């Protein structure tokens, strides 16, 4: 196991690999781009924003709480719209709630997303209209409690597939998404909240940056051949860009005294979040389309014992 993609590639025993005319063994995931990776980003940002808003409310940072509620409601509504577009018809989203099936992360996720987006939207609506403030606050806390689940369940959604790069990364992906959700919510808050309230989002962004970078680093180091799509080609470039942007966001958020710095930091964080989700999504597709990522690890017995 090495850190660099280049060195890793030369270690890969491709010579022994046989296939049926080089055709993929797995089917290409049919989830649409940008709908699904876009949803991963929106859902994570919404989730962490709702939690931030709830804690801000508890600590008396009313304006930060307000901004967080707006972001949570806006991003979750946009996320639901993306999913409806992916499914093709609006009533299909309702059909997702027909049953609760514990073995299906999509079913469990629908039961997290539906109440979360309802509560987040309700609290933002109450805030906008000034009506039912008590219920609005309650809805805000409810969405804040569900928020962390919104950030990480999507990692299980991707990992619970036969797609090698997603499945084998299941111990790390939730932390990548959690870190990225924290920086996303921090970025949105840096853009929307008043300057006096920037302390908490700045610290959230730093914690998120550390979490995401550490988890991504472990994915690249631990997975060996199956981790290759994370460091090569288009997904590799997206993830490199994401890492650069998140570091830039963290650095800029610490610059004081310049008006543009928080705005640039916020923009960098949000762009990083998009790059992370699109990069991870694309890495999975790449690993499903090349039979080497199915055959070689299974031959080496890594498919069965992927964990250290």
**84 binds other proteins, rule: CB under 8 A:** no
Distance of CA 132 to the CA centre of its chain: 33
**101 binds other proteins, rule: CB under 8 A:** yes
Shortest reach from residue 125's CB to other proteins, in Å: 23
Shortest reach from residue 188's CB to other proteins, in Å: 13
Closest CA to 276 of 224, 236, 248: 236
**107 binds other proteins, rule: CB under 8 A:** yes
**131 binds other proteins, rule: CB under 8 A:** no
| Nearer Cβ to other proteins (7/196) | 196
| Nearer Cβ to other proteins (166/220) | 166
Choose the stretch contacting other proteins; rule: CB under 8 A; options: 5-13, 73-81, 169-177, 217-225: 169-177
**160 binds other proteins, rule: CB under 8 A:** yes
Here's the x/- map for other proteins, 21-50, by CB under 8 A: it reads as x-xxxxxxxxx---------------xx--
| Nearer Cβ to other proteins (200/279) | 200
Selected from 181, 188, 274, 275, the binder of other proteins by CB under 8 A is 181
- Alpha-carbon distance of 64 to 199, in angstroms, equals 10
| Nearer Cβ to other proteins (5/24) | 24
**242 binds other proteins, rule: CB under 8 A:** no
Here's the x/- map for other proteins, 210-239, by CB under 8 A: it reads as -x----------------------------
Q: How many residues bind other proteins (CB under 8 A)?
A: 81
- Tokens 């992906």 — which residue? 173
Selected from 72, 80, 82, 163, the binder of other proteins by CB under 8 A is 163
H-assigned helices in the chain: 5-11, 35-58, 62-87, 90-95, 105-129, 133-159, 164-168, 173-192, 199-222, 233-253, 260-289, 292-299
- Alpha-carbon distance of 198 to 154, in angstroms, equals 28
Selected from 174, 224, 249, 273, the binder of other proteins by CB under 8 A is 174
- Tokens 């928020």 — which residue? 147
Shortest reach from residue 108's CB to other proteins, in Å: 8
Selected from 92, 131, 217, 258, the binder of other proteins by CB under 8 A is 92
Selected from 110, 117, 121, 253, the binder of other proteins by CB under 8 A is 110
Region for residue 161 given its phi and psi (left: phi exceeds 0; alpha: psi -120 to 50; beta: otherwise): beta
- Alpha-carbon distance of 158 to 276, in angstroms, equals 14
Of residues 188 through 207, those in contact with other proteins by CB under 8 A are 199-204, 207
Whether residue 34 has a cis bond before it, omega within 30° of 0? yes
Most distant CA pair in the chain: distance in Å?
68
- Tokens 């005319």 — which residue? 21
Measured between its terminal Cα atoms, the distance across the chain in Å is: 12
- Tell me if residue 197 falls in helix, strand or coil: helix
**265 binds other proteins, rule: CB under 8 A:** no
In eight-state DSSP terms, residue 232 is S
Selected from 85, 132, 161, 240, the binder of other proteins by CB under 8 A is 161
Closest CA to 226 of 291, 173, 157: 291
């Amino acid at each position: 196991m090495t850190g660099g993609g280049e060195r890793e590639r030369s270690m890969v025993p491709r010579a022994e690999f046989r296939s049926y005319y080089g055709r993929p063994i797995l089917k290409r995931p049919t989830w649409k781009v940008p709908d699904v990776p876009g949803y991963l980003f929106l859902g994570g940002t919404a989730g962490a924003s709702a939690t931030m808003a709830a804690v801000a409310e508890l600590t008396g940072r009313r304006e930060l709480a307000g901004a967080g509620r707006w972001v949570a409601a806006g991003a979750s509504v946009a996320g639901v719209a993306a999913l409806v577009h992916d499914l093709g018809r609006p009533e299909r989203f309702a059909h997702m709630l027909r049953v609760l099936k514990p073995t299906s992360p999509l079913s469990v996720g629908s039961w997290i997303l539906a109440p979360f987006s309802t509560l987040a939207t309700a609290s933002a609506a109450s805030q906008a209209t000034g009506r039912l403030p008590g219920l609005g606050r309650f809805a805000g806390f409810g969405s804040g409690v569900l928020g962390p689940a919104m950030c990480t369940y999507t990692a299980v959604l991707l990992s619970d597939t036969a797609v090698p790069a997603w499945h084998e990364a299941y111990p790390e992906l939730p932390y990548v998404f959690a870190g990225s959700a924290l920086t996303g919510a921090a970025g949105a808050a840096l853009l929307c909240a008043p300057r006096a309230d920037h302390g908490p989002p700045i610290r959230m962004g730093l914690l998120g940056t550390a979490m995401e970078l550490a988890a991504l680093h472990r994915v690249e180091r631990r997975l060996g051949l199956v981790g290759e799509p994370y460091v090569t080609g288009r997904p590799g470039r997206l993830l490199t860009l994401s890492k650069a942007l998140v570091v830039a966001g963290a650095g800029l958020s610490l610059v004081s005294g310049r008006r543009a710095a928080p705005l640039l930091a916020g923009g960098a964080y949000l762009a990083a979040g998009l790059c992370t989700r699109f990069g991870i999504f694309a890495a999975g597709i790449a690993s499903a389309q090349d039979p080497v990522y199915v055959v070689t690890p299974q031959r080496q017995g890594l498919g069965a014992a992927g964990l250290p």
